[in-house]
Amino acid sequence: MTDLEDALQQSWPSAVRGEISHPQWGTVCYWTGEQHGHIAVRFRYADQPDAEADKVFFVDSTPEGWVLRHVSSFATTDSGGLKLVKNQSFKVLDELEEKYRDLLERFMQERTVWEIA
């Protein structure tokens, strides 16, 4: 477990953890939390670029599906806590949405199963 994952476990104890199978990346672990239809989710998989491992996707659930609102990065502070830094680049947001769209779709489908159960 990385320092970031240790900090996540301490700072975000209510997060739901799970796994999704992805044809390209294999088993993908996720941490997610939700409030009033606003969803935060972080993905981690083997060989994931370090620059993407700290990303948190903020998604809004809509009757038609979902919308990616923004992407932030978790950063650890000197005191061992976490802070979120919002990505300000539309180019980076578009690139991450394109790369992770299929995984986000799979995650949202799994989330729908939770709501039905």
Convert the pLDDT of each residue in 44-83 to its tens digit.
Answer: 999 999 889 889 999 998 888 889 999 988 777 777 677 8
Give residue 23's pLDDT band: very low, low, confident or very high (50, 70, 90): very high
**Which residue type is seen at 104?**
L
Query: Is the torsion defined by CA of 55, 38, 30, 15 positive or negative?
Result: positive
Q: Where are the domains of the chain?
A: 3-112
According to the model, what pLDDT value does residue 49 have?
94
According to the model, what pLDDT value does residue 117 have?
47
Q: How many C-alpha atoms does 96 have within 13 Å on its Cβ side? A: 26
Task: Examine the pLDDT at 97 and tell me if it is beyond 80.
Answer: yes
Are residues 108 and 100 in contact, defined by beta-carbon separation less than 8 angstroms? no
**Which residue type is seen at 37?**
G
